[in-house]
Amino acid sequence: MSNTFTLDGKEIPFQDGQTVIQAALDAGVYIPHLCHHPDFPPHGSCKLCTVKINGRQTASCTMKAQAGMVVESNIDELNDERRALTQMLFVEGNHFCPSCEKSGNCQLQATAYQLHMLTPHFDHFYPNRPVDASHPDYLLDTNRCILCSLCVRASRDVDGKNVFALGGRGIKTHLLVNAKSHRLGDTDFSGEDKAANVCPVGVILKKRQGFAVPIGQRTFDIKPASEYVDSRMPTKEV
């Protein structure tokens, strides 16, 4: 039996157990998201993917699709709030895009473009966060961490290494590295790891690779985040 719900008036098919965002992305419809990743179980922390379901706001990455749901996503009210969340992520950390190697390939930045963010709007926190260059091949610049836990999930679920975790609480929540020294260089992290390639922003960066692709040819120079929906989706497994 084919199940469907409507998303901004469009009929979206889904399979049992799929979340709203999975079904939407499979159908080629973009819903902004940062902590969702097709290869990992949902986390539900960034709240960018919030939609209105039957009039109530809820994160579409943790909400299972149900037949007949009426979902609104691309509406001003939600996009305004999503933009505010994005601005919060910018002022919470230290995001200086011109000097960031991730620029142009960064999902936070691309999402901000998508939401037409022209200014971080809020007062900046300018937190004092560490940069860890101890690993021979990788740099860890936590100034840009948005606490999406993708590296945590990847290292735990795919790599079986548990290199990363989130520590602290509240506004002091921060990335932890599994070493007594707290240095990435003292863990078994390697460039082969899934965790090395999953960070949506410019925290986990390969050394000596910076700015390899010229401006104009980077991922989100070519087309906006909303147009990557299909190619980013994994092959469906039922």
Partner 1 sequence: MHSAYIDPILERYGHNPTKLMQILREMQEHFGYIHSDAIDHLVARLGILRTQVESVAGFYEFFYLHPPGRYRILFSDNITDRMLGNMDLLEQMCRQLWIEHGKVSEDGLVSVDTTSCTGMCDQGPALLVNGRTVTRLTMDRVEVICELVRNEIPLEQWPAEFFQVEENIRRKDVLLGSEFQPGAALRAAFALGPQALIDEVKTANLRGRGGAGFTTGLKWEGCRNAPGQAHYVVCNADEGEPGTFKDRVLLASYADRVFEGMTLCGYAIGAQLGMLYLRGEYRYLLEPLQAVLENRRRANLLGGNILGQAGFDFDIEIHLGAGAYICGEESALIESLEGKRGTPRNRPPFPVTHGYLNQPTVVNNVETFAAGTLIAERGGAWYAGLGTGKSAGTKLLSVSGDCTQPGIYEYPFGVTVAQVLEDCGAVNSQAVQVSGPSGVCVSAAEFERRIAFEDIPTAGAFMVFDHSRDMFEVARNFVQFFAHESCGFCTPCRVGTSLLRNLMDKLHNGHGSPYDFEEIKRLNVLLQSMSHCGLGHSACNPVLDTIAKFGPAYEKRLQHRDFTPAFDLDWALAPARRSTGRDDSAAHLHDEAIGEQP
Partner 2 sequence: MSASTKPKLKVATTSLAGCFGCHMSFLDIDERLFELVEHIEFDRSPLTDIKHVGPCDIGLIEGGLCNAENVHVLREFRRQCKVLIAVGACAINGGLPAQRNPIPLPMILEEVYHTSPGLHNGLIPNDPELPLPLNQVHPIHEVVKVDYFMPGCPPSGDTIWKVLTDLLAGKEPVLPHELLHYD
Contacts with partner 2, residue ranges (CB under 8 A): 90, 94-100, 103-104, 109, 112-113, 116, 118-121, 123-124, 126-129, 215, 224
Binders of ligand SF4 in range 131-150 (CB under 6 A): 144-150
Give CA–CA dist 128/219, Å, rounded.
30
For 2, other C-beta atoms within 10 Å of its C-beta total: 7
From the list 36, 83, 95, 153, which residue makes contact with ligand FES (rule: CB under 6 A)? 36
59 belongs to the binding site for ligand SF4 (CB under 6 A): no
Q: Which two tokens stand for residue 118?
A: 């022209």
Q: Of residues 59-98, which lie at the interface with ligand FES (CB under 6 A)?
A: 59, 61
Size of the site for partner 1 (CB under 8 A): 38
46 belongs to the binding site for ligand FES (CB under 6 A): yes
* Inter-residue contact 204 to 195 (CB < 8 Å): yes
Distances from the Cα of 132 to the Cα of 124, 129, 187, 229, angstroms: 23, 10, 12, 33
Q: Can you tell me which of 21, 24, 53, 89 binds partner 1, judged by CB under 8 A?
A: 89
Task: Output the six-digit token pair for 154.
Answer: 């990847």
Nearer CB in complex with ligand FES: 82/135: 82
CA 57, 77, 113: angle at the middle one, nearest 5? Answer: 105
Q: Is residue 104 a contact point for partner 1 (CB under 8 A)? A: no
What is the CA angle 35-208-128, rounded to 5? 55
Site for ligand SF4, rule CB under 6 A: 95-97, 100, 102-103, 106, 108-109, 144-151, 175, 198-199, 201-204
Residue ranges binding ligand FES (CB under 6 A): 33-36, 44-49, 59, 61
